[in-house]
Structure 1
Amino acid sequence: MTEKAIEKSASVVADYDLESEIDNHLRRIFYIKPVKETHNCKPYIPEFFGVLSLTDVRSPERKLWVIYHSKQPDLDKTVDEIHQKYGKKNMYDLFRKPVFSGLALRASVKKHFAQLKWYTNGNVLEAPPKSHFNDERVVKAINDLHHLEQQRLYNYVMVKNHWSKQYS
């Protein structure tokens, strides 16, 4: 045998992975989805959800809040864009926490306040006139929604963990 044939046969043997072959066959037999090679998201970059209190200079009796979500590297850029749109002097940060999914928390916050008959346009929440809500009550409501979201994720992970222990 020549040297190239020996190198080629050695590389073919080295490329064969028995564990991946067994894994592929078991996934086909039990109808389990194949493992993705590349992941679209970077799990080590946290996502933040925040609320800014907004004071309208033209009508100070209006109660406005701006909600936002962003990944950590884009957080300053997002907040700066909001400051440019509404004015930096008119707002201050009320709530900012890392979350699993800022989009999901934003949707649940909008749904909660829409059920209270608030005006929810885009990222702006506006309390109805003569509402008893102030900054502290809004933060408490959002904190409760954040806690519910964390509780749902915890329950999901625990059910999956229990399921995997049961059938292992």
Structure 2
Amino acid sequence: MDQRQPNLEDKMEKYWRRMFYLDPKLEPTPLELSELEYFGAFRIINPLDPKRKHWLIYSCLHSEIAENVEKVRRKYGKKNVFEIVRKPVYSGLGFRKIVRDYFVNLRWKANGGFLEAPENSYYNDEKFVKSVNNLLDVEHRRIYDYIMGHLEWFKRYNDQKPPPDVVRFF
């Protein structure tokens, strides 16, 4: 028997099945890579002005990643583009909007999926990736709390006992 650690997808599957009254699966759920959405970011270096800091964020299905990477490298040059983060997410476009809004609130310039840090910004690739990972952790926590809230509501609803003065005739 496979003695592997349960991951987030298996836990989510378990709680979703409880919430929607589905029979639990005994074996781990296989991950369908073609339906999985990815969030990613490229670091783009402008050879004319290397001090300016640019990042391009994207979201796409797993099967579209190679096509999007090639398109970006063709547009900006293969030597000027570096992929710094690629994470599986539950809502690619939604998470891209969360990241974009977060950095716009820090007074970054944003145009679609293109982010530009201000000139005096202390952000580098490591700081950018750390911020994105923190936002992803918050997003996972929000989804987990939503599921657990529904599970608690379901438990309370099922555990309610009728008041003692009510007489039932069955």
The equivalent residue for 1:156 is 146
* 96, 118, 121: which one aligns with 1:106: 96
The equivalent residue for 1:97 is 87
The equivalent residue for 1:133 is 123
Query: How far off is 1:166 after superposition?
Result: 2.4
Query: How far off is 1:73 after superposition?
Result: 1.0
- The question of 1:48 aligning with 2:38 is answered yes
Ranges in structure 1 where 5+ consecutive residues have no aligned partner: 1-42
* 48, 53, 77: which one aligns with 2:67: 77
Query: How far off is 1:65 after superposition?
Result: 0.5
The letter for the 2-side match of 1:80 is: E
The letter for the 2-side match of 1:72 is: H
The equivalent residue for 2:107 is 117
User: 1:58-98, CA deviations, whole angstroms, 9 ceiling, x for partnerless residues?
Assistant: 11111001101111111111111111222221011111110
Q: TM-score, normalised by structure 2?
A: 0.71
Distance 2:75 2:146 in 1: 38
User: 1:15-60, CA deviations, whole angstroms, 9 ceiling, x for partnerless residues?
Assistant: xxxxxxxxxxxxxxxxxxxxxxxxxxxx942111001111011111
SS in 2 for 1:89: helix
Q: Which has the higher Rg, Structure 1 or Structure 2?
A: 1
- The question of 1:166 aligning with 2:150 is answered no
RMSD: 1.3
SS in 1 for 2:78: coil
SS in 1 for 2:107: coil
Query: How far off is 1:164 after superposition?
Result: 2.1
Matched residue pairs, number? 126
SS in 2 for 1:68: strand
Distance 1:112 1:94 in 2: 18
- The question of 1:61 aligning with 2:21 is answered no
Larger relative contact order, structure 1 or 2 (CA cutoff 8 Å, min sep 6):
2
Ranges in structure 2 where 5+ consecutive residues have no aligned partner: 1-30, 159-170
Q: TM-score, normalised by structure 1?
A: 0.71
